[in-house]
Structure 1
Amino acid sequence: MTFAGRWEIESQEGYDEFCKVVGIPADVIEKGRDYKAVTEVTQNGDEFTWTQVYPTIKVTNKFTIGKESEMESLGGKKFKATVNLEGGKMTVNFPNYTQTNEISGGKLIETCKAGSVVLRKVSKKI
């Protein structure tokens, strides 16, 4: 299974509520609400470069599956985390939420959970 490629958001559910819960400023939420964010992924075995491009933010994280890496959240917070891959699902714990990524039906599905609040993004390959 490969995550590699360029992916553009087709749909998202729970965007506003999730962004508020994780502390993203209202003006940034507004700019990003209908923006078709692009995720660029390069993969070499277990090594990944994962870049997300939004209107006011571009975040790139480089990591190796199963090894602790220096990461950055969309809010600009730096932290250390280990990305795991099990059953085709990639999971990482950010400081105030958990993100799971998977490929399903040729789409990149990103599910972010902060407590009971869920953001689900579906992206198509471009």
Structure 2
Amino acid sequence: MAFAGKWETETQEGYDEFCKLLGIPADIIEKGRDYKLITEVTQDGDTFSWTQVYPTNAKVTNTFTVGKECDMETIGGKKFKATVYMEGGKLCVDFPNYHHTSEISGGKLIETSKAGAVVLKRTSKKI
């Protein structure tokens, strides 16, 4: 149940480069650079509901059960099938263009997205 709660971004590393790689428009990158992304997570055993609220007030919710294929959606509205798995206490999933992990470390939510050599690391505090 460590993931459950409401989280707010404290720091982001590699944001601009990662967003450019995904083809996000420059004006949206600019709006999101200093935005305090809110992530709300509920957990019931191995089933999660993961909601992120973005700077344009867009909201994306993905519901998944660890180890089972599910329908997911990106912030850009792209729908895809994926299986979230647990590896060393981290939730891991392959998005269409990158690999994403989420973990709790030192009471913080650490999210890492990797696309080749480009890495976005977002650290959030519980609110």
Shift of 1:50: 0.2
Question: Structure 2 CA distance, aligned partners of 1:48 and 1:24?
Answer: 27
Q: Which runs of 5+ in 1 are unaligned?
A: none
Following superposition of structure 1 onto structure 2, how do residues 64-79 of structure 1 map, counting pairs within 5 Å?
Answer: 64-79=65-80
Question: Structure 2 CA distance, aligned partners of 1:74 and 1:17?
Answer: 17
The answer for the alignment partner of 2:112 in structure 1 is: 111
Q: Does 1:88 align with 2:89?
A: yes
Q: Deviations over 1:59-97 (max 9, x none)?
A: 100000000000001221100000001211100000000
**Secondary structure in structure 1 of the residue aligned to 2:17:** helix
22-31 vs 107-116, greater mean Cα deviation: 22-31
The answer for the alignment partner of 1:123 in structure 2 is: 124
Q: Pairwise CA RMSD of aligned residues?
A: 0.8
**Secondary structure in structure 2 of the residue aligned to 1:24:** coil
**Secondary structure in structure 2 of the residue aligned to 1:75:** coil
Moved over 4 A (4+): none
The answer for the alignment partner of 1:19 in structure 2 is: 19
Shift of 1:22: 1.1
Shift of 1:115: 0.8
The answer for the alignment partner of 1:35 in structure 2 is: 35
Shift of 1:33: 0.5
- For 1:41, give the aligned amino acid: V
Question: Structure 1 CA distance, aligned partners of 2:112 and 2:10?
Answer: 14
Question: Structure 1 CA distance, aligned partners of 2:40 and 2:22?
Answer: 23
Question: Structure 2 CA distance, aligned partners of 1:80 and 1:23?
Answer: 21
Shift of 1:58: 1.1
- For 2:77, give the aligned amino acid: G
Shift of 1:55: 1.3
Shift of 1:25: 1.4
Question: Structure 1 CA distance, aligned partners of 2:111 and 2:80?
Answer: 20
Question: Structure 1 CA distance, aligned partners of 2:25 and 2:101?
Answer: 23
The answer for the alignment partner of 2:47 in structure 1 is: 47
Q: Which runs of 5+ in 2 are unaligned?
A: none
What is the TM-score when the length of structure 1 is the normalising length?
Answer: 0.97
